[in-house]
Amino acid sequence: MEEENNISRRKLLGGLGASLAAAAVSPILSAEAAPGPTAAPLQDPTTKYPRPPFKGQSQPWPGLASQMDPKPDHGETSYKGSGRLQGRKALITGGDSGMGRAAAIAYAREGADVAINYLPAEEADAKEVIALIKKEGRKGIAIPGDLRDEAFCKKLVDEAVRQLGGLDIVVSNAGRQQAHASILDISTEQFDWTMKTNIYAPFWIIKAALPHLPPGSAIIGSTSEQATDPSEDLYDYAQTKAATTNYVRSLAKQLAPKGIRVNGVAPGPIWTPLQVSGGATQEKLKEFGGNTPMKRPGQPVELASIYVQLAASDASYATGQIYGSAGGKGMP
């Protein structure tokens, strides 16, 4: 083993010497060798994406990314993979739009096969995602259906396992957010809808997935800055995000001995259909993200690399963590 390490180290250093020598004689080679395949030019994050004021806009729930103005960036033209998830098999709920779509595109470009779940009303967005996954030469599997139904959650996992030929990444990302100025405006039906989507569905999906997940698998929950800094008009939603952060930490402890990691992503204000289909008031939407130190909302693509990092096997010691991305505001 010691000897093997020495040999591979010698080979590595030898190889490095050769490429350094080549770089010294060839400016073209050195220019190619310097930035990695995923390197992007240095850019000021404050001016990289649209800033408020935004046009007022409203769509019937659950909304479509394709109908938003400006259109969100999910990395369609920008995300470049480098084989970090080669051969992995992922299920992403809410994979048609927003953060789920950014994760789906990035996962495929990193070499994973991807199944996405979404609502039938979102077929148009989902079709675009499936086409992008397939363009990478990966399996792209569409499994529409309503996650408020326990039987469907089980069917979703079974179908993903069957069509992917296994499962080792579960991204529980779908979410329901409707703003209500007062607790008095929230009906029991609304409250139940939010709880079923944001708390029950991950419970049902993870339960169904667990028997299929080999050691090395990753579970990722989409939580929020709302978990720790709830807005006054998101009474029901914010508490589901506190629950998400909490289940991530509990399950991480429970599943670490099985070699399964559980982490969460806590976005700040991100430009997605959820916000224009009842998630934010028109007033808030027009100035969306303006109250962050970056003075703009995030775009879904800006979280893609976090979803990749948490799934990748080189993050093998990270579990029970919440990774934030909120433009300088909020604490994960």
- Residues with catalytic function: 237
Draw the binding track, 96-115, toward Mg ion (x: CB under 5 A; -: no contact): xx------------------
Q: Where in 117-136 is the site for ligand NAD (CB under 6 A)?
A: 117-119, 122
The single residue among 148, 249, 286, 329 that binds ligand NAD, judged by CB under 6 A, is 148
Q: How far is the CB of 281 from Mg ion (least distance, A)?
A: 20
Contact in structure between 149 and 198 (CB atoms under 8 Å):
no
- Closer residue to Mg ion (CB): 194 or 292: 194
Q: How far is Cα of residue 229 from the mean position of the Cα atoms in its chain?
A: 21
Residue 206 contacts which entry, Mg ion, ligand NAD, none (Cβ below 5-8 A, type-dependent):
none
Q: Is 274 in the site for ligand NAD (CB under 6 A)?
A: yes
Q: Is 260 in the site for ligand NAD (CB under 6 A)?
A: no
Q: How far is Cα of residue 319 from the mean position of the Cα atoms in its chain?
A: 16
- Closer residue to ligand NAD (CB): 222 or 319: 222
Q: Is 128 in the site for Mg ion (CB under 5 A)?
A: no
Q: Is 168 in the site for Mg ion (CB under 5 A)?
A: no
- Closer residue to ligand NAD (CB): 30 or 57: 57
DSSP string of 128-163, one letter each residue: HHHHHHHHTTS-EEEEE--TT-HHHHHHHHHHHHHH
Distance separating alpha carbons of residues 25 and 22, to the nearest angstrom = 5
- CA torsion 302→304→310→311, rounded to 10°? -170
The span of 10-18, 134-142, 144-152, 309-317 binding ligand NAD (CB under 6 A) equals: 144-152
- Closer residue to ligand NAD (CB): 134 or 148: 148
The amino acid at residue 197 is T
Residue 148 contacts which entry, Mg ion, ligand NAD, none (Cβ below 5-8 A, type-dependent):
ligand NAD
Contact in structure between 95 and 118 (CB atoms under 8 Å):
yes
Residue reference for tokens 């310097």: 34
Distances (CA, A) of 206 to 164, 200, 255, 332: 17, 10, 11, 22
- Closer residue to ligand NAD (CB): 50 or 62: 62
Nearest C-alpha neighbor of 170 from the set 118, 217, 137, 121: 217
The span of 17-25, 26-34, 51-59, 273-281 binding ligand NAD (CB under 6 A) equals: 273-281
Q: In the 8-state DSSP scheme, what is residue 324?
A: E
Overall residue count recorded for the chain in this entry: 332
Q: Is 275 in the site for Mg ion (CB under 5 A)?
A: no
**Bridge partners of residue 24, in order along the sequence:** none
Distance separating alpha carbons of residues 327 and 329, to the nearest angstrom = 6
CA atoms within 13 A on the CB side of 275: 30
Contact in structure between 163 and 101 (CB atoms under 8 Å):
no
Q: How far is the CB of 170 from Mg ion (least distance, A)?
A: 18
Tokens of 236: 């029901």
Residue 197 contacts which entry, ligand NAD, Mg ion, none (Cβ below 5-8 A, type-dependent):
ligand NAD
The span of 17-25, 83-91, 179-187, 267-275 binding ligand NAD (CB under 6 A) equals: 267-275
The single residue among 50, 273, 278, 332 that binds ligand NAD, judged by CB under 6 A, is 273
The angle at the Cα of 318, spanning 312 to 322, to the nearest 5 degrees, equals 100
Q: Which residue is nearest to ligand NAD (CB)?
A: 98
Residues that bind Mg ion (CB under 5 A): 96-97, 122, 273
Contacting positions for ligand NAD (CB under 6 A): 62-63, 94, 96-100, 117-119, 122, 146-148, 173-177, 197, 222, 224, 267, 269-270, 272-275
